[in-house]
Structure 1
Amino acid sequence: MVRSMNSMTTTLLLLIFFFCQIFTSHSSTIPSKYDGFIYPSAGGGGSGCEESSSPPPISIDAFFDPLCPDCREAWVPLEKALRYYSPRVSLTLHPFPLPYHDNAFLACRALHIAHRLNSSAAYNLLQAFFDYQERYSNSLTSEMSRTSIVNDMAKFAARALGKSLPMFQSGFKDPKTDEATRVSFKYGCSRGVTGTPYFFVNGFALPGSGSALDYETWRSIIDPLLESLQGRSEQALFEF
């Protein structure tokens, strides 16, 4: 009986040790701030809504790979919707490098470096990547070394934003930008993101994510939400 109890105790201790090792090895530092780049205020759009200091009632989280053709196609209608519904709709864009785009991690890292300037710089660089996406395609860079690609991307980003080259060169050497890009990818994985573009509206994943949404689709998603919010406000006012 004593031998059996000792065996059970040993087994239990081994199990505790095993699970402690798992949780320790898979734990990661919690970021000091929420991942992603907040889209700059469009300053009012076609909706005719007045500026408000309260948070927008509708929030969009978009996971984009700057080297993904579907993201390039999705960006124009999404930005058009943001401008139309401003300030009632906000966007947080999360860089999510797809593994089958060889240079996507570096491009996402460049966005983080640009974001050190301000959120507008990150979005301006995103547009530049969309405009010259083929420049960093797998086929055109297959015979380039990683160092050559980094140097070329630093020059590209500096020219696109009108900034100094050393800023981007040092940014690519800074381990903090590497870590920030890894956090962005891990965050996307934690949300179940499997491709790009991938969208969440008010925390809920949109069906059909992984492909571009046109402007009319965004209208069909956002209009009913705003109408519902307006109806609730009117009902609350009437009850009061």
Structure 2
Amino acid sequence: MEPSRHRVPAAAALLVLVAVAAVVGRCGAQLPIPVRTDGFLYGGKSAAPAWGDAVVVEAFFDPVCPDSRDAWPPLQRAAAHYGARRVAVVVHLFPLPYHSSAFMACRSIHTVHKLNASAVYPLLENFFKYQEGYYNMPTYTKTRAAVVAEIANNLVAPVIGEANLAAYRAGFNDSQSDQATRISFKFGCARGVTGTPYYFVNGIPLSDSGSPMDYNKWISTLDPLVGKM
């Protein structure tokens, strides 16, 4: 039976961070620097405000995490309430290691971003809508290739069109999409993310991270900040 909620106990989270730190230490102190800042701005580049001119909300989501799925609609509603010029929302992908399809889901989104940046959020929402089919138990007996094919045909094709599937498959198998997904995970670990959803507002982590925040909570959190701009 698939767990309905996915959180990391404090002791387990500490072990994960220690393990990541040990791996980083063996490989060298410097994490890979990506060619672009990690994360996807909601609304696209046209909505991007000048730095410092908006309250910046960062959300770390796993596309196959139920809590991430439940966290997105109220955050999306809050973003619409304020508008991109006052509140900028950036989503970072964080594939949880105990979700067997999470890395493939995140890699798919990175691949689609290279083909069509405007397709990122429709694909993320497709994963949220149909994520139960990609939980650990439903995919337990399936090969990785079979799961990737299902993602391509059932989730990606409706977003980018059948004609672009060949380009998607080529990009998915490109080392760049693999590296981008690894960097997303390492970026989250470097900032102390241990589960999803995880939130930062203007760079400061919220105490409500780990659980979906409802619309009213977002409003009560953001209103005092927006009012001082």
TM class by shorter-chain length? 0.7 to 0.9
Aligned partner (choices 64, 67, 86) of residue 64 of structure 2: 67
Give deviations 1:168-187, integer Å, cap 9, x for gaps: 21122100000000000000
Aligned residue pair count = 201
Q: Give 1:162 deviation, angstroms.
A: 3.6
2:209 corresponds in structure 1 to 209
2:122 corresponds in structure 1 to 124
Gaps of 5+ in 1: 1-21, 44-50, 230-240
Residues 24/139 of structure 1: CA separation in 2 closer, same or farther (3 Å cut): closer
Tell me which structure has the larger Cα radius of gyration.
1
Give the Cα–Cα distance (whole angstroms) in 1 for the partners of residues 194 and 35 of structure 2: 25
2:8 corresponds in structure 1 to none
Q: Give 1:91 deviation, angstroms.
A: 1.1
1:138 corresponds in structure 2 to 136
Give the letter aligned to residue 137 of structure 2.
Answer: S
The 5-angstrom pairing of residues 1-240 of structure 1 reads: 25-40=28-43, 54-55=50-51, 56-86=53-83, 87-163=85-161, 164-229=164-229
Give the letter aligned to residue 27 of structure 1.
Answer: Q
- SS of the aligned residue for 2:227 comes to helix
Identity %: 46
Q: Give 1:158 deviation, angstroms.
A: 3.1
- SS of the aligned residue for 1:62 comes to strand
With 220-229 and 206-215 compared, the bigger mean Cα shift is at 220-229
With 169-178 and 185-194 compared, the bigger mean Cα shift is at 169-178
TM-score by length of 1: 0.78
TM-score by length of 2: 0.82
Give the Cα–Cα distance (whole angstroms) in 1 for the partners of residues 116 and 62 of structure 2: 19
Q: Give 1:52 deviation, angstroms.
A: 9.6
Give the letter aligned to residue 31 of structure 1.
Answer: P
Give the Cα–Cα distance (whole angstroms) in 1 for the partners of residues 48 and 133 of structure 2: 41
Give the Cα–Cα distance (whole angstroms) in 2 for the partners of residues 228 and 137 of structure 1: 43
* 8 A contact 1:110–1:157 mirrored in 2: no
With 151-160 and 84-93 compared, the bigger mean Cα shift is at 151-160
Give the Cα–Cα distance (whole angstroms) in 2 for the partners of residues 138 and 24 of structure 1: 30
Give the Cα–Cα distance (whole angstroms) in 2 for the partners of residues 54 and 179 of structure 1: 28
Give the Cα–Cα distance (whole angstroms) in 1 for the partners of residues 104 and 170 of structure 2: 14
Residues 54/146 of structure 1: CA separation in 2 closer, same or farther (3 Å cut): closer
Gaps of 5+ in 2: 1-24
* 8 A contact 1:36–1:92 mirrored in 2: yes
Residues 138/53 of structure 1: CA separation in 2 closer, same or farther (3 Å cut): closer
With 70-79 and 30-39 compared, the bigger mean Cα shift is at 30-39
2:15 corresponds in structure 1 to none
Let me know the Cα RMSD of the aligned residues. Answer: 2.1
Give the letter aligned to residue 154 of structure 1.
Answer: A
Residues 204/123 of structure 1: CA separation in 2 closer, same or farther (3 Å cut): same
